[in-house]
Structure 1
Amino acid sequence: MTAIHHHPCDDLLVALAAGTLAAGPAAVVASHVEGCPACANRLAELEALGGALLEELPGADLAPEALVNTLAAIDALPVTEAERVIRTARRPDLPAGARWPRALADCSGTPWRWIGPGMRWSRLTLPSDPSANLFLLRIGAGKFLPPHTHSELELTQVLWGSFHDGRALFGPGDFDAADGRVHHQPVVEPGCECICLASVDGRVVFDSFLARALGSMVGM
Structure 2
Amino acid sequence: MIHHHPDDGLLLAQAAGTLSSGHSLLVASHVEACAECQARLRELESIGGAMLEQLAPAVLPSQSLAEAMAAIDAPPAAPKAKAPPRRSSRPALPAGMSWPRALHGCSATAWRWLGPGMRWSRVTVPYDPAANVFLLRIGAGKELPFHTHSRSELTQVLHGAFHDGRALFGPGDFDEADGDIHHQPKVLAAGECICLASVEGRVMFQGAIARMLGSLVGM
Q: TM > 0.5 between the two?
A: yes
Q: Residues 214 and 58 from structure 1, CA distance in 2 versus in 1: closer, same or farther, beyond 3 angstroms? A: same
Could you tell me how far apart the structure 2 residues matched to 1:86 and 1:204 are? 35
Specify the code of the residue in structure 2 equivalent to 1:49. Answer: I
Cα distance in 1 for residues equivalent to 2:112 and 2:190: 22
Question: Which residue is 2:100 aligned to?
Answer: 101
Using the alignment, how far apart are the partners of 2:166 and 2:81 within structure 1? 48
Q: Which has the larger radius of gyration?
A: 2
Counterparts of 1:175 and 1:49, CA distance in 2: 24
Q: Return the TM-score normalized by structure 1.
A: 0.89
The equivalent residue for 1:154 is 153
**2: CA distance, partners of 1:214 / 1:128:** 27
Identity %: 63
Question: Following superposition of structure 1 onto structure 2, how do residues 129-208 of structure 1 map, counting pairs within 5 Å?
Answer: 129-208=128-207
1:191/1:65 CA distance change after superposition, 3 Å: farther
Q: Which runs of 5+ in 1 are unaligned?
A: none
Q: 2:43 aligns with which of 42, 45, 53?
A: 45
- C-alpha displacement of 1:156: 0.2
**TM score, norm. by length of structure 2:** 0.89
Residues 86 and 108 in structure 1, CA contact (< 8 A), matched pair in contact too: no
| Residue-pair matches, total | 211
Contact 1:145 1:186 in 2 (8 A): yes
**For residue 170 of structure 1, what is the amino acid of its counterpart?**
F
Partner deviation per Cα, 1:46-103 (whole Å, 9 max, x = no partner)? 001111111222445764448859xx68x87898xxxx79944401111111111111
Q: 1:92-120, CA deviations, whole angstroms, 9 ceiling, x for partnerless residues?
A: 11111111111111100111000101100
In the TM superposition, 1:58-69 aligns within 5 A as: 58-59=56-57, 63=65, 64-65=68-69
Amino acid at match of 2:93: L
> Helix, strand or coil: the match of 2:155?
strand
> Superposition RMSD on alpha carbons, in Å?
2.4
DSSP-derived class of the 1:197 partner: strand
Q: Which runs of 5+ in 2 are unaligned?
A: none
**1:211 counterpart = 2:210:** yes
